[in-house]
Amino acid sequence: MKALTQTNFNFPGQKSVYHGKVRDVYDIDDDLMVMVATDRISAFDVILPKGIPFKGQVLNQIAAKFLDATSDIVPNWKLATPDPMVTVGLKCEGFRVEMIIRGYLTGSAWREYQNGCRELCGVKLPEGMRENEKFPTPIITPTTKADAGHDENISKEEIIAQGLVSKEDYEQMEQYTYALFARGTEMAAQKGLILVDTKYEFGKRDGKVYLIDEIHTPDSSRYFYADGYQEKFEKGEPQKQLSKEFVRQWLIENGFMGKAGQQVPEMTDEYVSSVSDRYIELYEHIVGEKFHKADEHDDLAARIEKNVMAYLNNK
């Protein structure tokens, strides 16, 4: 099975390209963005040495479905998906803040809570909560978007005081975040899932706030299975998760957490294939439809180039 781990296209009108951890983003005439979801996989801010076949297609198609399903709530950047691994959309000026919303006390928020923290990003947390417990109402815990290294927690008040986002734009993003999370929660429940936490990114174009990037994918969100949640919670057992947490767990078990001097464990073909299968399983659970693999034996880069060129030439 082939995996696409790097791209180096030269599209008509191309101004620049940005290679992120997972996505390669091509700027066309400062007007459009061609976002290629590669098969790269990252964990602990490290890109792992092997790509995961079909991962890019899984993420791109989940994000496209959720962007379409929420376009009545907030305008978003997506215009088309000319290839299973590509979304083309409007170029927006991204805010340097990520909106993280949490419905449950888990992950890094739980680790901080365990260490005695009762205020997260300016939000006061109730006493006596337990791991994976549902918050009385979802909380927004924004982070600043770092160019390098880890994103940092920040409060609404600090964001506005530092001029990262205007008060008016922040409140608009906040309103959209709650509404998107409510829709995502409702859609997850229909599939027997709990949307635990997720992140949204917003940008601005012509004075209007847009939803940008991906939404509700297993790379940007955490899901629990609803069946068995209450029982596991009451017993203090780990929840059955639907996210890329299983990759992090495998790395931790093999002595890797992204720290200096640590070696990424060997990714055998069998392991890579098992991760690919898990991503396809994630797709089918989250979307509730069978996953159809795009042409497996194609030269993936050539296929993408052909499809994107056809779209750009016909728009």
Give mean pLDDT, residues 101-112.
Answer: 94
Range with lowest mean pLDDT among 154-163, 242-251, 257-266, 285-294 = 242-251
Q: Phi and psi (nearest 5°) for 285?
A: -70, -45
Domain assignment of residue 137, yes or no: yes
Q: Is the pLDDT of residue 149 over 80?
A: no
CATH of the domain at 164: 3.30.470.20
Domain assignment of residue 14, yes or no: no
Domain assignment of residue 299, yes or no: no
Percent of the chain with pLDDT over 70: 98
Domain assignment of residue 184, yes or no: yes
Quote the pTM value. Answer: 0.92
Domain assignment of residue 306, yes or no: no
Give mean pLDDT, residues 168-176.
Answer: 98
Q: Which pLDDT score is estimated for 146? A: 67
Give mean pLDDT, residues 33-48.
Answer: 94
Domain assignment of residue 114, yes or no: yes
Give mean pLDDT, residues 173-200.
Answer: 97
Q: Which pLDDT score is estimated for 296? A: 66
Highest mean pLDDT among 216-220, 238-242, 273-277: 273-277
Give mean pLDDT, residues 183-205.
Answer: 97
Q: Is the pLDDT of residue 9 over 90?
A: yes
Q: Is the pLDDT of residue 147 over 80?
A: no
Range of the domain at 167: 96-204+215-242
Q: Is the pLDDT of residue 219 over 80?
A: yes
Q: Which pLDDT score is estimated for 108? A: 87
Number of structural domains in the chain: 1
Instruction: Return mean pLDDT, the chain.
Output: 94
Domain assignment of residue 293, yes or no: no
Domain assignment of residue 167, yes or no: yes
